[in-house]
Structures are given as C-alpha cells and as structure tokens.
C-alpha cells in the first residue's frame, strides 16, 4: 500500500492511498526522531510495544514515516544552505562589480599616464638636444623634498585630519589609490573567506579584504573597534580622548601597542586618530591613521622598548546587506619601520601577505566565527559554549606573547646568562602574575611557588615548511618533549602536588588528543592533550598519572602564504575550570619568504622513516628533490615554569638545558624534513611504493569481489602498483583497521586521510570506535558479528568524526573482511561513500 504525508500533516486512511496520523501520534514519532533519526527495525518494533498510541500502525508505515521525515529535513537544510549561498553570491557579485569598476578606472588612469609620460619623454629628449635647456635638465638632480609644516591638533584641526583620513581610506577601499593584486592562494567563491588583495609597489605594507558576515553593521563596528579581542598581536588599545563631531561622528585619540612576534625584534606602538561616522548611504565607516608632526594638541612621547610605527589611512567600510548581515571592506596599511630589525627577519615587516594573514583576514575570521556562534549557540567540547572556548584560545595566545616579549611593566626582569647568549631567561615575581595563577594544594594552603621563569630563544630554519614542522610537533610530542619537565610544569596547576615526596615520571605510555573546538575556516584548533604518564613513587612502585595540556594549534594549511604556524599549550588540572591557571609555552614558526614549496601532505611519514633508517646506499628518492627550493623561516620558542624563589638558579639551569635540547632535536628534525636531505636516503618511498601496501591493495580488491560480486575498482591495470594507485586516488574513503579487541586504523587512501584529517603516521593512533558517534557505535556493535560471519555488511548513512573533532556525514558505508593469501582474515576494510564535512 502506497503511503505518503502531505506537508507533514497527519490523518487517517484515505481511499487506501494515504496514511494519516493523529497529532498525538506525530508528536510521539517526532520525539523518537529527535532521539534517533534512523531507528533500526528492532527499535521501531520496540517503540510500537512501548507506545500504545502507535500500536495500530504497521512497522512498515513507521519506516516510511521516518524516510519522509528525513527527506523533509534534508530538503529543509538544503534549502536553507542554498538561500545562504545565494545571499553570499549576490553580495559577492556586488563586490566583484565594484572591483570591476575600480579596475576599469585604474586602466583608464594608466592609459592616461602612459600617454602623458610618453609625451613628457619626447619633450625631455628634445630638451636635452637644446644646450640652452641644460640647466633645466640638471637642476632636477638636486631636488630636495619639502618638509611639511606641523599639522594643527586642535579640535578643528583634528576634524580636518579625520575628514582627510576618511577620503584617503575610501579611495583605497573602493578606489584606485593603491594598486591591489590578488592574495596568492586566495580564490573568490561562496566558500571563501572573501576577496583578499595585497598592495603592489606602495609605501609600507597594505592589505584589503571584502566579504560578507552575518552580523548587523553596528555590531560589526563594535567588535572591530575592540582589537585586543580578535587581533592576537595587539597588547592594548587605550582611548585617551573622545571628541564628538557635528555630523554625529566620533574622533578618538588612541595609543596602541603590538607584541613582537619573535625575540629578534622589538615591539611596535602607534599614536592614532580614529574617526567613526555614517555615510549618506547608511554605511558605517571606522578609519584610522597615525598622528605625526602635530602641534597645539595632545601627543604621545616615545615609550621604552617600543618602536613607533606608522599607520597610514586604514579602516572598515560596513554596508548593510539585503536579507541581513553586512558587506565588509577592510583596509590595513602600515609602515612597520623595518630598518629597526635585523636583516634576517626584515621580510616579516616588508610583507603585505603577512599583514593580510595576521590582521586583515583575522578580522574577517573573527566576525564569521562570532556570527556562527550566534546562529548555533550550542555547547561544544567538554560542555563549553563557543565563546568560552574562544576566550581560552585568546588567553593561551596572550599569555605566550606576554612571556615572549617580557615587558618590564608586567614584572619581567632578565637574568644573567651562563656564558652563552643563545637562551634568554626572564623572571617574574610580581603579585599580579602569581595572582593570575591562583596556585594551591588540595589541603587549601597556598603553593610555595612564588615566581615564574621564562626561557626563550629563536632559531633560523632552512627549507622546512612551517605547516609540516607544526604537524610533527603536534603528532610526535615524544620526539622532542621531556616527560619529567611536563610533569614538573603540571605540578603547578594540579589540585595536589603531583611531584611531591620524591615522585618522578618515568615516561609516557601514550598521547590522546581530545578536540574541543575549531574555527569555521579550520585555521585554528583548540584541544586537550592527555599524556598518559607513568609515575614512580618513593617505594619505586609504578602508578599511572595522566597529565592534561590545553593546546592551541594554528597554521596547518601548507598553502596559506604569509601565515605563521603556532603550537601553544599549558598544563591544566583535570577539573578544567574556565578560570584555570595557565602558564603557556610553545612554538611559533614564521615564514620569511613568500615563495611556496610544493610539499606532500604526508611528509611526516617520510620523516619518521628518515629518523629510523639513517643514510645508507646510493639510491636517491626523487619524490621531494624536485621541490628543493630554498625556504627560510624563524622559529621562536618560549617555555614558562613556576618555581620557588630559592630554586631560581636550579630552575634556570634546567630551563636552559631543556630549551637547548629542544633546539637540538629540531635541528635534526629540520634536516630530516629537508627535501635535499630526503633525497640522500635509500629506500624512502611514497606510500604507493611499498610492497606491503601493494599487497594489501590487492587483497582489499580481491576480498571485495569475493563478497560483493562486483569489482571495487573500475579499471586499475594488471600490476599491483597500478591497483594501489587507483585505490589511493579513489574518491570514497577506504580504510583498514586491525582485528584486535580495540581496532585501530592501519591504512587508508588519500580520501580517508582527508576525511579523518590526519597523516599515515598518526593514523595508527586512531581507534575505530573513536570516529563514530553513539548511534554509529551501537550500529557497529550490532553489525560486527555479521561482518565476521558473513564476510560483509552494509551500513546506513550517518555521522562520524575526524581526528580534529569535525562532524563528517556519509551516505552509506560498506564493511568487509580482507583475506590474505591463505584465506585468513587479515583486517576489516570500510568504505565511506559520498562523505562530506557537515
């Protein structure tokens, strides 16, 4: 009997064609749907027995109801998504039309200038032939740039400067005042963050972005003015004076300080005028510029340890968008005084791409993240709301910057070195710093730790992509970290003194990554690292003791030009309170060159091999040698330790030794990661080159054909290498897991790596049950005996999780036993069909 439901309205049987439900029945079914959108046949029969109001409905009818309900839900979500995409495309189309108009004006201007200079060149040529004009030609060689008189900084003078700043900013945001070129690696589209461009040939560094955000203009302006909340390099913004204007605008005088990104350069500060106003078309404008060479008004003298930088007219143009939201135009234009830094790091202060990543695009990301939090205010990892997790990320980043810069007004003072100046030691015993830690023991008495020490250093890396090195740091902590140092740091934030009474940590028995949150562009991840430690008591008995680290990871995209990579972490107590004391430590890797190296996303696999094999033989690998172009980056390291005052010299010595050991490890790692070094190793092959992988690929395809009766691959050739290559490039995620009590993944193709957001090395740390949600785990437990007995099973679509905690939907999944040559079960293979990130 055919069954359907018009517009979701229930009813009774109508001419044998429709099944109509009562409102009470629909309410009961809706409750069940929200609990489990895809109930099994057993569950449906159980519901009929438990719910008397559904007792007169056939199980098949309930099955059809759920199918229709899922279909309507899918259509609703798709319609909502398409409406959002349509709004974004409409807004981006408007932006592109404006950009096209700007480019046409720029072309007209260039044509005019070309004609003018051509005429000028002809006149100059004729003049040089006339001896009487010689003095005119030579006089230009001694031209002196006139000095501008000081600007009036009285209220009337400030208004004049503000109006001038507004006009110059608008000419950059929508006009031709700056020649803009597309940001490398950025392509406009409905899924992009926006249209991002960087300057070409202008004074200083400049970046511009246009995008759509789902917030109202006044809210956008409010958020962008609060720079310390989203600009990680911003230490403070002090509003020293506010002047209202006759047109309803506001002039503010600001003093802003920026952290230095590395130990090799001083911090920057700015003395600024900020002008906020509303244009005739209703658009909001917030523009800024540095105040230089002024008189008859307030001024800001030079501040010790800061280099005064200049902000040229910059700001935000915020237009209301039809259907809600705002269209953003952001311009950042600065002269960061690169003369004041060593030549090796000067590219950081001369790169518009770096400015775009750190400032311009960061503003758009923050707005889009907040817009998503407003629309989806649900709890995320560990019962935290997104705003709370974002605050934790900000605290980690700010604490790391504070330690890295070590400003004296925050209580930091420098210790003498030990005869070598490679490691800088700072000590902070100010009450404010210790009050923020709020250290205490389980018995309620305050901790005896009364000071904080920071050991920091910077090193130059050659030919190592920051994203590759960051992935190694995150996934192979045991290669560089000392477990006893981690235990010492964790002792400061434990509820009880975990290293008291002579206890010592003997090592790590494992590392578990627990994802908390990520930004919507997935540029940044916040996670908890659980280090499963082994502690020896004074009686030399072994006791497990876990160490928890709150960790912030950003810069994983290898194709992001100018983006720095960061891994910042701090030990936390297992209770993980929102106001948990944090002593951040970590690494920042900043590329110094704009050129990109085409590198494999699975370079970590070859690193592990290189570290184990060692140089041998004379067979060279050509996998990466072709991409051996020089690439430089600077890595900055900073580690913080809480300590007792009488232990200062001991802790300082320990910190120096630890940081030096880390630098030594990184030098070895960087050498292993270098393409030129990899080419000198024998036997280093891509995953497609190992005989074991080729054999496994053949077993996977043969077993699939045996159980399913069809071929897994359409045309793969005859050789094992061809089969493996076709399997590796298959669009569906194909994964193998071990036949153990707790199955772990042993192999996957490229689509599987993308779906799990991992590498082949880290893959072996992911268990099968970890990627499924509760419903998926129940289904897996139900179907697993069938897989082992029958040899295969088909699983309904659902949701699983990547290693980063991102939800992944799949249309259906197939599982089958993989048999070896002796027809014994070797592993279980899963294929996730038509998967996508939710």
Q: What is the 3-state secondary structure (H, E, C) of 340-392?
A: HCCHHHCHHHHCHHHHHHHHHHHHHHHHHHHHHHHHCCCCCHHHCCHHHHHHH
Strands lying side by side in the sheet with 585-591: 412-414, 424-428, 451-462, 632-643, 585-591, 565-572, 542-554, 524-536, 504-518
pLDDT interval class at 383 (50, 70, 90): low
Nearest residue to 732 via CA among 751, 750, 747? 751
Is the model's pLDDT at 356 over the cut of 50?
Answer: yes
Question: Do 722 and 766 lie in a common domain?
Answer: yes
Residue 524 lies in a domain: yes
Token reading at 106: 């720029």
Query: Which of 647, 673, 699 is the last residue before a domain boundary?
Result: 673
CA dihedral sign of residues 474, 478, 480, 482 = positive
For residues 238-255, average pLDDT: 92
User: What pLDDT does residue 439 have?
Assistant: 47
pLDDT interval class at 621 (50, 70, 90): very low
Residue 389 lies in a domain: no
Nearest residue to 254 via CA among 236, 280, 281? 236
Strand partners, 544: 534
Question: Do 403 and 524 lie in a common domain?
Answer: yes
pLDDT interval class at 691 (50, 70, 90): confident
Mean pLDDT, the chain, integer: 77
Question: Do 263 and 372 lie in a common domain?
Answer: yes
Q: Comparing 331 with 503, which gets the higher pLDDT? A: 331
| Percent of the chain whose pLDDT exceeds 70 | 74
User: What pLDDT does residue 242 have?
Assistant: 93
Write the CB contacts of 670 (distance below 8 Å, at least 6 apart in sequence).
Answer: 461, 462, 463, 464, 469
pLDDT tens for 52-72 read 888 788 888 888 888 888 888
User: What pLDDT does residue 247 have?
Assistant: 87
- CATH code at position 787: 3.30.450.20
Is the model's pLDDT at 540 over the cut of 60?
Answer: no
Question: Do 749 and 778 lie in a common domain?
Answer: yes
Residue 384 lies in a domain: no
pTM of the predicted protein model: 0.66
User: What pLDDT does residue 511 have?
Assistant: 55
pLDDT tens for 762-782 read 777 788 888 887 777 888 888
pLDDT interval class at 44 (50, 70, 90): confident
User: Which of 542-551, 553-562, 601-610, 750-759 is predicted least confidently?
Assistant: 601-610
Question: Do 535 and 426 lie in a common domain?
Answer: yes
- Side-chain-side CA neighbours of 17 within 13 Å: the count stands at 2
Q: Comparing 320 with 134, which gets the higher pLDDT? A: 320
User: What pLDDT does residue 689 have?
Assistant: 52
Question: Do 664 and 739 lie in a common domain?
Answer: no
Residue 459, CA distances (Å) to 85, 470, 589 in order: 45, 15, 10
For residues 535-563, average pLDDT: 67
Residue 188 lies in a domain: yes
Query: Which of 641, 673, 705 is the last residue before a domain boundary?
Result: 673
Query: How many separate domains does the chain show?
Result: 4
Token reading at 239: 């509003």
- CATH code at position 278: 3.30.530.20
Token reading at 480: 């560089």
- Find the length of the chain: 838
Question: Do 710 and 751 lie in a common domain?
Answer: yes
Give the residue carrying structure tokens 């010595």.
653
Residue 3 lies in a domain: no
Question: Do 267 and 352 lie in a common domain?
Answer: yes
Domain ranges, residue 398: 394-437+449-493+510-595+630-673
Question: Do 368 and 285 lie in a common domain?
Answer: yes
Residue 614 lies in a domain: no
Torsion of CA 510, 513, 514, 516, to 10 degrees: 160
Question: Do 401 and 536 lie in a common domain?
Answer: yes
Residue 49 lies in a domain: yes
pLDDT tens for 61-105 read 888 888 888 888 888 888 877 877 777 777 777 777 776 776 777
Write the CB contacts of 509 (distance below 8 Å, at least 6 apart in sequence).
Answer: 532, 533, 534, 544
Q: Are strands 294-295 and 306-308 parallel, antiparallel or unpaired?
A: unpaired
Question: Do 522 and 642 lie in a common domain?
Answer: yes
Question: Do 542 and 569 lie in a common domain?
Answer: yes
Residue 615 lies in a domain: no
């Amino acid at each position: 009997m055919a069954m359907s439901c018009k517009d979701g309205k229930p009813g009774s049987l109508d001419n044998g064609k429709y099944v109509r439900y009562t409102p009470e029945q629909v309410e009961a079914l809706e409750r069940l749907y929200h609990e489990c959108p895809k109930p099994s046949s057993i569950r449906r029969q159980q519901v009929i027995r438990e719910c008397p109001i559904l007792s007169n409905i056939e199980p098949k009818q309930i099955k059809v109801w759920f199918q229709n309900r899922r279909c309507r839900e899918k259509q609703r979500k798709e319609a909502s998504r398409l409406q959002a995409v349509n709004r974004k495309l409409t807004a981006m189309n408007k932006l592109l039309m404006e950009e096209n108009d700007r480019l046409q004006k720029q072309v007209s201007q260039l044509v005019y200038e070309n004609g003018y200079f051509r005429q000028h060149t002809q006149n100059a040529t004729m003049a040089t032939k006339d001896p009487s004009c010689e003095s005119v030609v030579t006089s230009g060689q001694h031209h002196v740039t006139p000095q501008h008189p000081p600007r009036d900084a009285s209220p009337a003078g400030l208004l004049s400067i503000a109006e001038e700043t507004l006009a110059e900013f608008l000419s950059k945001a929508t006009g031709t005042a700056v020649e803009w070129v597309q940001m490398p690696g950025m392509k406009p589209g409905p899924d992009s963050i926006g249209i991002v461009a960087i300057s070409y040939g202008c004074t200083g560094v400049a970046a511009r972005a246009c995008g759509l955000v789902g917030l109202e203009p006044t809210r956008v302006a409010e958020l962008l003015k609060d720079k310390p909340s989203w600009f990680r390099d911003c230490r403070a913004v002090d509003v020293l004076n506010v002047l209202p204007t006759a047109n309803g605008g506001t002039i503010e005088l600001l003093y802003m300080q920026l952290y230095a990104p590395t130990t090799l350069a001083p911090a920057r500060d700015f003395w600024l005028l900020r002008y906020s106003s509303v244009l005739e078309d209703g658009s909001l404008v917030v523009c800024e510029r540095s105040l230089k060479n002024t008189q008859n008004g307030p001024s800001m003298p030079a501040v010790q340890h800061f280099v005064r930088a200049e902000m040229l007219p910059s700001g935000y143009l915020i237009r209301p968008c039809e259907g809600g939201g705002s269209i953003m135009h952001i311009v950042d234009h600065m002269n960061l005084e690169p003369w004041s830094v060593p030549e090796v790091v000067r590219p950081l202060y001369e790169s518009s791409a770096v400015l775009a990543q750190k400032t311009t695009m960061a503003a758009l990301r923050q707005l889009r993240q907040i817009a998503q939090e407003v629309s989806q205010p649900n709890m995320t990892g560990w019962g935290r709301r997104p705003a709370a997790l974002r605050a934790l990320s900000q605290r980690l980043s700010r604490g790391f910057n504070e330690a890295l810069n070590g400003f004296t007004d925050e209580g930091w003072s420098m210790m003498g070195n030990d005869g070598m100046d490679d490691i800088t030691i700072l000590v902070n015993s100010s009450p404010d710093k210790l009050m923020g830690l709020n250290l205490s023991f389980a018995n309620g008495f305050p901790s005896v730790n009364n000071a904080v020490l920071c050991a920091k250093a910077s090193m130059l890396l050659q030919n190592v992509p920051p994203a590759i090195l960051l992935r190694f740091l995150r996934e192979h902590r045991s290669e560089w970290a000392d477990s006893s140092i981690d235990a010492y740091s964790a002792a400061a934030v434990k509820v009880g003194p975990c290293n008291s009474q002579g206890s010592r940590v003997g090592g790590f028995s494992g590392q578990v990554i627990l994802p908390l949150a990520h930004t919507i562009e997935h540029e940044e991840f916040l996670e908890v690292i659980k280090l499963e430690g082994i502690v020896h008591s004074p009686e030399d008995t072994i006791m497990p003791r876990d160490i928890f680290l709150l960790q912030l990871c950003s810069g994983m995209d290898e194709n992001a030009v100018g983006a720095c990579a960061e891994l910042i972490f701090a030990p936390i107590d297992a209770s993980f309170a929102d106001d948990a004391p944090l002593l951040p430590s970590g690494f920042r890797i900043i590329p110094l060159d704009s050129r990109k190296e085409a590198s494999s996303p699975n370079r970590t696999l070859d690193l592990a091999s290189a570290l184990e094999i060692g140089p041998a033989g004379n067979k060279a690998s050509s996998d990466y040698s072709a991409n051996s172009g020089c690439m430089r980056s600077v890595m900055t390291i900073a580690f913080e330790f809480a300590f007792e005052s009488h232990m200062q010299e001991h802790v300082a010595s320990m910190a120096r030794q630890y940081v030096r050991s880390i630098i030594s490890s990184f030098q070895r790692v960087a050498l292993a990661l270098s393409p030129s070094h990899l080419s000198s190793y024998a036997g280093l092959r891509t995953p497609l080159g190992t005989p074991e992988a080729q054999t496994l690929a053949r077993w996977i395809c043969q077993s699939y054909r045996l159980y399913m009766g069809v071929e897994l691959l359409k045309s793969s050739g005859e050789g094992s290498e061809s089969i493996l290559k076709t399997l590796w490039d298959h669009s569906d995620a194909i994964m193998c897991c071990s036949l153990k009590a707790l199955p772990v993944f042993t192999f996957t193709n490229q689509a599987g790596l993308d779906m799990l957001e991992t590498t082949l090395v880290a893959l072996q740390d992911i268990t099968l049950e970890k990627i499924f949600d509760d419903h998926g785990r129940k289904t897996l437990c139900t179907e697993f005996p069938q897989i082992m007995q029958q040899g295969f099973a088909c699983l309904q679509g659902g949701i699983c999780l990547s290693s980063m905690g991102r939800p992944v939907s799949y249309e259906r999944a197939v599982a089958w036993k993989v048999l070896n040559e002796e027809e014994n079960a070797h592993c279980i293979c899963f294929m996730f069909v038509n998967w996508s990130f939710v």
